[in-house]
Amino acid sequence: MIWLALGCRYREAEVSMREKLAFSEAQIREALELLRTRYPELETVILSTCNRVEIYAALELGPDEGTTDDPPGSSPNSSTFPPDAQTPGFPKDPEAGLETLLKFWSELKGQDLEVVKAECFQLTGAKAIHHLFMVASSLDSMIVGEGQIGGQVQSAYNLAVECGSVGPLLHSAFQRAGNIARKVTAETAIHQYRTSVPSVAVSCFARQIFEHFESKHTLVIGAGKMAEETLLYLRDEGVKTITIVNRNIEKAQRMAAQFQGNVRPWEELDAALTEADLVVSITGAMEPIVTLERFRALENQRNFRPLFVLDLAVPRDFDPRLAQLENVYLYSVDDLQSVCDANQAARERDLPAAQKIVNEQLHAFLLDIRHRKSGRVISELRQYWDQPKEKELERLFRKLPDLTDAEKREIEYSFDRLVNKLLHPTLTSLHEAGENPENQRGLLKAVRKLFRLD
């Protein structure tokens, strides 16, 4: 069997190239359908996110055609696949298979093949499977341990299943990838430490002030990317009442529509501050928009209620002197970044343990796949021995018509035991050979030839 993975990610390609090679959901459906029509024997999944665009493919080979599931760190043995050994469909040579997929991808996106090739990684065999397991476990992410990629991998797999482009090989690989990701989460702390400024702001700071968020009024000053990300975390915590104030009211309206929030004009900022329990501020102002004097004028209207302020702007939107007030909890980017750095260091300490889980699970998966490959031969070998057994039983029972049913069952049981004993040495050798792909290939070929299973 052949395993392939290729793609461009944040490590190799700039965002401008990733944008050119990216797929929308509709484009993924179209690409999978084209591949399925052109190469019906090929299994494919396409993953497209802001940080990576990747194609995973697998091809089942004939019983004597070999496999590329070599352990990580070794190179696939291409001698089993001469360059011209191709079916009328998808190439059996892994390198030719990668070239075929790269050409398909570049033509589909209208990009030069050599440019695409220079921006992409290309993996075969166990390295391709290992990459999938690392991606699903968030160990290959720009921010190790980030929580979104596992769901994105699952969504890509579900879409490919829906499109009919997944077969038993990729079913096994992606289901195992999900299991590994859950194991990494359960057995390490790599996903427990927040490392982005918005996530730390909510989980490490806002939660210290508010036990519940459902009844809290959130004010967002600004409508940029970080404001949007912070609102995503707050929504997960239960925030329901959101007001957005921004100089560009159209931007505020677009964000409000996304989060079912309300919009107030910039001139009503004081009124919005009076109602707020929690403020997220990220504007491009060059000096504080809320000074100590401005806020003091609002305190009586606020009844001196506590106010939690996440000032994520640089320069700062809130006068630092506000932190001296007893009822104001003011945090800047610098306050949050130190926690982000400490959490990132904690994740990196857990990284070796997470990688060990992936490597152990990869080894187990490869053994399962190899045993499955020998399982087909074992099934054929049992059929090979069952045919003469059944004929001999039939002949014996015709010669001894007076046998009781109990006696017949005993004779059948004895014949079955004899077949099992005859098979035992061969089955044991096939099982042991699963540890070594080369040995397994040679033994499977010898067994098929010896017993004329073809």
The CA distances from residue 144 to 129, 191, 349, 416, in Å, are 19, 8, 11, 55
Q: Do 368 and 172 meet the contact criterion of CB atoms below 8 Å apart?
A: yes
- Residue 19 is which amino acid? E
Q: Catalytic annotation on 120? A: no
Coil, strand or helix: which one is 397?
Answer: helix
CA distance 6 to 46: 10
Amino acid, single-letter form, for residue 28: I
Amino acid at 316: R
CB-CB contact of 339 with 200 (8 Å): yes
Q: How far apart are CA 199 and CA 340, in angstroms?
A: 9
Q: What is the CA radius of gyration of the chain?
A: 31
**In degrees rounded to 5, what are phi and psi of residue 220?**
-110, 120
CA distance 427 to 367: 15
Which position among 50, 120, 163, 204 bears the catalytic label?
50
Sequence-distant (6+) residues with CB within 8 A of 307 are: 276, 277, 278, 279, 327, 328, 329
DSSP state of 268: G
Q: Could you list the active site residues?
A: 50
